[in-house]
């Protein structure tokens, strides 16, 4: 159990390294004071451009993958619950670190990119269908937050379908789905009020369907 706690604390500390805040500090600004105020990839894209956003996403995905990989790399002890359970715990700890970063006053991003990073190591077969769901919603509606929430919720049935044999993964997927819904509550509220920002250029499918009518 001590090994698990040590790994989880380290994973949380690693997850607290926010890509947008780290890169922003190097350039002399705090992204939480721009746009929506969120320290995630979408706000980075809106306020700083695609190059900056790409760096943010690479860091945020990478730290999730690294947290899980390191958890699998370090041996367990007789009292530990097992490598895979520890990897799941460390993956979620890294996601929590991204959302509530200890280095930045516990104000971070929404966790989607870091969840993707953890899944890249835990069960990479989930990534392609998740991306398809996300792209389908985004290119139809233009709402990034809505696409992320629906993709997050789809993670549960996709896990039950693709990897039902992986012990603990369904519980992990459910926890991530709940967390992503909660971190995007503001987006959902703005969507309900009709004030949510929409990427019109992303609505490729919507325009295609409209042209065929």
Q: Among 78, 97, 122, where does a domain finish?
A: 122
210 Cβ contact list (under 8 Å, min separation 6): none
Q: Are 100 and 182 in contact (CB under 8 A)?
A: no
- Answer yes or no: do 112 and 141 share one domain: no
Residue 78: what pLDDT? Answer: 53
Q: Are 109 and 59 in contact (CB under 8 A)?
A: no
Q: Tell me the CB-side half-sphere exposure of residue 6, using CA atoms within 13 A.
A: 9
Residue 188: what pLDDT? Answer: 95
pTM metric for this prediction: 0.89
For residue 30, give both structure tokens.
């705090």
- Answer yes or no: do 69 and 155 share one domain: no
- Answer yes or no: do 77 and 168 share one domain: no
Using 50 as the pLDDT threshold, list the residues of the chain that sit under it.
none
Residue 167: what pLDDT? Answer: 86
- Answer yes or no: do 39 and 79 share one domain: yes
- Answer yes or no: do 91 and 102 share one domain: yes
| Alpha carbon distance, N-terminus to C-terminus of the chain | 61
The domain tally of the chain equals 2
User: Which DSSP category does 213 fall into?
Assistant: -
Mean pLDDT of the chain: 87
């Amino acid at each position: 159990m001590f090994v698990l706690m040590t790994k989880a604390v380290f994973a949380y500390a690693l997850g607290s390294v926010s890509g947008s805040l780290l890169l922003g500090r190097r350039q002399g600004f705090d992204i939480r004071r721009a746009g929506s105020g969120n320290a995630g990839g979408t706000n980075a894209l809106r306020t700083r451009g695609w190059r900056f956003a790409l760096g943010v996403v690479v860091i945020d995905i990478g730290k999730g993958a690294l947290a899980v990989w390191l958890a699998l790399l370090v041996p367990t002890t007789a009292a530990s619950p097992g490598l895979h359970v520890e990897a799941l715990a460390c993956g979620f700890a890294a996601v929590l670190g991204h959302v509530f970063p200890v280095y930045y006053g516990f104000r971070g991003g929404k966790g989607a990119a870091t969840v993707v990073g953890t899944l890249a190591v835990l069960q990479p077969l989930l990534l392609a269908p998740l991306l398809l769901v996300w792209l389908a919603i985004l290119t139809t509606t233009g709402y990034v937050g809505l696409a992320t929430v629906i993709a997050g919720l789809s993670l549960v049935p996709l896990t039950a379908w693709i990897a039902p044999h992986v012990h603990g993964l369904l519980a992990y997927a459910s926890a991530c789905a709940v967390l992503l819904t909660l971190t995007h509550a503001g987006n959902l509220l703005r969507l309900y009020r009709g004030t949510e920002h929409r990427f019109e250029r992303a609505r490729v499918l919507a325009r295609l369907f409209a042209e065929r009518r």
